[in-house]
Amino acid sequence: MDTIKLTPRQEEIIRLVKENPPITSEALAERLNVTRAALRPDLAILTMTGILEARPKVGYIYSKKPSYSLIYDYIRNIKVADIMSNPVVVDEGTSIYDAIVHLFLNDVGTLFVQNNGYLIGAASRKDFLKIAMGGTDIHKVPVGIIMTRMPNIVYIEKEDSAYLAAQRIIEHEVDSLPVVERAFDGSKEAFTIVGKVSKTNITRLFVKLGENG
């Protein structure tokens, strides 16, 4: 996905650096038959984008892992707090039927379940669909029976990056992460729910990144 458009001179610089690492800007200028000043913008762009690495007093080397650091930095600097939305939370004793009604009324894909104000579980459309297909009486059975229970819930915190949230969503194959704050329930570590980040939030962010101003 190397889509940064480089000029022919920038391509030539990369080729020279690859062939003669490390190479100083003086040597590059001489090879290209231009002044060092004329090269400066190209070198600035190539190092800012992470294609070249500038080693002081040594010269330029080709970055083994071109990080296109502008995009990389841009994406990694967006926080969960900037993109999270309101979580829909029910109590453990809520019937599966009522929980599904909450799911539809709020048009969300995942419900979070709490007890005494602390996060104890999560249930997704997939969990509900599975139970609704079986012979279970969804009016009588509480959501606590079918939910995924702590500590098996993948969560995120407000100050984490949106990138980390997206990574966890993909790695753990979930639709949504609760955004939590650490608390203590007696002497035990516990979590309160302050938000959620779903694939929808990430998709919305992606659209925002591609918007023209």
Residues near a second copy (CB under 8 A)? 1, 3-5, 35, 37-38, 40-45, 48-50, 63-68, 70-78, 82, 97, 100, 103-104, 107, 109, 125-126, 128-130, 132-133, 138, 161-163, 166-167, 169-170, 173, 198-200, 202-213
Least distance (Å) between residue 32 CB and a second copy:
16
Least distance (Å) between residue 187 CB and a second copy:
37
Quick one: 134 or 151, whose CB is closer to a second copy? 134
Distance CA 154, CA 161 (A): 15
Quick one: 104 or 184, whose CB is closer to a second copy? 104
Positive or negative: CA dihedral 160, 162, 163, 166 = positive
Q: For residue 29, what are the contacts with CB-CB under 8 A and spacing of at least 6?
A: 35, 36, 38, 39
Least distance (Å) between residue 17 CB and a second copy:
17
Please state whether beta strands 110-115 and 89-91 pair in parallel, antiparallel, or not at all (unpaired): parallel
Closest listed residue to residue 52, CA positions, set 44, 42, 62, 40:
62
Least distance (Å) between residue 171 CB and a second copy:
9
Quick one: 50 or 115, whose CB is closer to a second copy? 50
Positive or negative: CA dihedral 139, 141, 144, 149 = negative
Least distance (Å) between residue 53 CB and a second copy:
12
Quick one: 24 or 115, whose CB is closer to a second copy? 24
Quick one: 98 or 185, whose CB is closer to a second copy? 98
Closest listed residue to residue 175, CA positions, set 110, 96, 118:
110
Q: What is the DSSP letter of 144?
A: G
